[in-house]
């Protein structure tokens, strides 16, 4: 029977980063996935490493926005009617977590992780020879109305309290950074310390390759075969069964398939999202990701083209794709930046794994010795992969964690 110190299940950005952080600390580690690293949710994000995140995505506070969503006229969100009964408890918890005082609490407890986000990526990228994918020129949030910009005041005040650099810009200032933005922009905020990548898949692959050079094993296997055997965790892989004292579950939106049968039922929600690449029209160019929060989309320059990503769709994870938000968004996206022809025939879809309190679960699985969890990174899995991998590796090896892991524990759902 093959044995290793740790089996990491799931080779998205979260699992691959965790495996790499564990291997760097001298443990023998196997990274097990049914696909090649980085090919699920971690493939299709907007590539923003947003260490400046203050408030998480929130339930719409205005009645008119809620009505637009309910009537399926919203660009920011969509839903499948048949899925509503299942998602209502999660939505109510999300709404409760979106109250102003809860948003501030979330911002404070998530700050230590976000504060390490860019630095931890930089370390791994240097070691993995992947710095060519990294851009250090921030990202730009643009606002079409005075009202939306004024509504930012509490978030910007907290950002300033946290010491996060930000620049308030008018149209001219925004165009100094991104000359092809149109005059629909009235205000913008440049977050210069955010970073972004030009190819999220290539970054996960580079971290997996670095993991291999440190002696880590990247194996094909189905995490649903995980079981207790002779006091260890065992998983079936294409190379045969593998045992370890420690198993890390980093399966993102697929985690419940393994956790539910073990009796670990945590309230994970799914926010599906889409992307499609476009060629810029004429000589237009985009240097950094630009997000339009009022309309609910991001334009991110990627090696494949300009990636237009959508907000949330509430639907069963495996239900057929319904990329209606992209259709609704196109006029607004084209009115912001001159997009040309689409690159692919059909959009990509992925599933953000989200807890209603916008925190991931990083820590032990209670009642299951040697089983650790790292999933639910929601809108910020690329951002937080290396930092949460470091935190997990420090906890598993008994080192002093770089921040207090208590706010991310699964215990918060059972108290």
Residue 51 found at the interface with ligand FAD (CB under 6 A):
no
Q: What is the DSSP letter of 343?
A: S
Residue 251 found at the interface with ligand FAD (CB under 6 A):
yes
Residues near 55 by Cβ (< 8 Å), separated by ≥ 6? 103, 106, 107, 155, 158
CA pair distance 124, 127, nearest whole angstrom: 5
Q: Smallest distance, Å, CB 53 to ligand FAD?
A: 9
Residue with smaller CB distance to ligand FAD, 57 or 246: 57
Residue 275 found at the interface with ligand FAD (CB under 6 A):
yes
Q: Contact with ligand FAD (CB under 6 A): which of 114, 149, 254, 278? A: 254
Candidates 46-54, 180-188, 320-328, 400-408; binding stretch for ligand FAD (CB under 6 A): 46-54
Residue with smaller CB distance to ligand FAD, 98 or 310: 310
Residue 379 found at the interface with ligand FAD (CB under 6 A):
yes
Residue 226 found at the interface with ligand FAD (CB under 6 A):
no
Residue 297 found at the interface with ligand FAD (CB under 6 A):
no
Rounded to 5 degrees, φ, ψ at 203 are -65, -50
Residue 309 found at the interface with ligand FAD (CB under 6 A):
yes
- What is the size of the binding site for ligand FAD (CB under 6 A)? 41
Residues near 16 by Cβ (< 8 Å), separated by ≥ 6? 31, 37, 38, 204, 207, 208, 211, 385
Residue 14 found at the interface with ligand FAD (CB under 6 A):
yes
Contact at 8 Å (CB) between 155 and 108?
Answer: no
CA pair distance 201, 222, nearest whole angstrom: 21
Candidates 56-64, 123-131, 157-165, 346-354; binding stretch for ligand FAD (CB under 6 A): 346-354
Taking the chain, what is the end-to-end CA distance rounded to the nearest angstrom?
39
Candidates 33-41, 88-96, 178-186, 403-411; binding stretch for ligand FAD (CB under 6 A): 33-41
Q: Smallest distance, Å, CB 224 to ligand FAD?
A: 5
Residue 338 found at the interface with ligand FAD (CB under 6 A):
no
CA pair distance 201, 221, nearest whole angstrom: 20
Residue 102 found at the interface with ligand FAD (CB under 6 A):
no
Candidates 42-50, 89-97, 183-191, 205-213; binding stretch for ligand FAD (CB under 6 A): 42-50
Torsion sign (Cα): 76, 360, 83, 10: positive
Q: Smallest distance, Å, CB 381 to ligand FAD?
A: 2
Q: Choose among 188, 170, 150, 355: nearest CA to 271.
A: 355
Contact at 8 Å (CB) between 374 and 250?
Answer: yes
Q: Smallest distance, Å, CB 208 to ligand FAD?
A: 10
Residue 350 found at the interface with ligand FAD (CB under 6 A):
yes
Residue 13 found at the interface with ligand FAD (CB under 6 A):
yes
Order across the sheet with 195-197: list the strands: 48-49, 195-197, 134-135
Indicate the burial class of 340 (C-beta count within 10 angstroms; 0-12, 13-18, 19 or more): middle
Q: Contact with ligand FAD (CB under 6 A): which of 4, 15, 76, 249? A: 15
CA pair distance 237, 30, nearest whole angstrom: 10
Q: Contact with ligand FAD (CB under 6 A): which of 4, 42, 52, 75? A: 42
* Binding site residues, ligand FAD, CB under 6 A: 10-15, 33-35, 39-42, 44-48, 222-224, 250-254, 257, 273, 275, 309, 350, 352-353, 375, 377-383
């Amino acid at each position: 029977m093959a044995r290793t110190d740790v089996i990491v299940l799931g080779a998205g950005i979260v699992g691959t980063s965790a495996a790499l952080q564990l291997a760097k600390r001298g443990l023998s580690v196997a990274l097990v996935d049914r696909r090649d690293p980085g090919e699920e949710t971690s493939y299709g994000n907007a590539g923003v490493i947003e260490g400046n995140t203050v408030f998480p995505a929130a339930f719409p506070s205005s009645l008119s926005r809620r009505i637009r969503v309910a009537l399926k006229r919203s660009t920011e969100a969509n839903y499948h009617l048949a899925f509503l009964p299942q998602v209502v408890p999660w939505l109510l918890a999300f709404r409760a977590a979106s109250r102003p005082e809860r948003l501030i609490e979330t911002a404070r407890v998530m700050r230590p992780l976000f504060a390490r986000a860019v630095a931890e990526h930089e370390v791994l990228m240097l070691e993995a020879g992947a710095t060519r994918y990294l851009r250090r020129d921030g990202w730009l949030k643009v606002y079409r109305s005075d009202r939306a910009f004024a509504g930012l005041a509490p978030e910007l005040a907290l950002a300033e309290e946290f010491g996060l650099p930000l620049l308030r810009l008018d149209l001219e200032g925004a165009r100094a950074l991104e000359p092809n933005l149109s005059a629909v922009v009235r205000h913008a905020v440049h977050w210069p310390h955010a970073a972004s990548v030009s190819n999220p898949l290539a970054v996960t692959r580079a971290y997996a390759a670095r993991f291999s050079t440190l002696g880590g094993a990247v194996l094909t296997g189905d995490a649903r075969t995980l079981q207790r055997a002779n006091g260890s965790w065992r998983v079936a892989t294409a190379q045969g069964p593998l045992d370890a004292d420690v198993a890390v579950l980093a399966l993102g939106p697929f985690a419940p398939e393994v956790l539910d049968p073990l009796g670990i039922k945590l309230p994970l929600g799914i926010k599906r999202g889409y992307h499609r690449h476009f060629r810029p029209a004429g000589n237009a160019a985009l240097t950094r990701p630009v997000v339009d929060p009022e309309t609910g989309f991001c334009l991110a320059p990627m090696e494949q083209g300009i990636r237009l990503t959508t907000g949330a769709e509430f639907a069963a994870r495996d239900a057929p794709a319904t990329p209606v938000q992209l259709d609704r968004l196109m006029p607004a996206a084209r009115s912001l930046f001159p997009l040309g022809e689409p690159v692919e025939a059909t959009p990509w879809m992925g599933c953000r794994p989200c807890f209603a309190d916008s925190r991931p679960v990083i820590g032990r699985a209670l009642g299951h010795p040697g089983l650790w969890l790292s999933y639910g990174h929601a809108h910020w899995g690329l951002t937080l992969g290396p930092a949460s991998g470091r935190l997990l590796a420090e906890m598993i090896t008994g080192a002093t964690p770089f921040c207090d892991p208590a706010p991310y524990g699964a215990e918060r759902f059972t108290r």
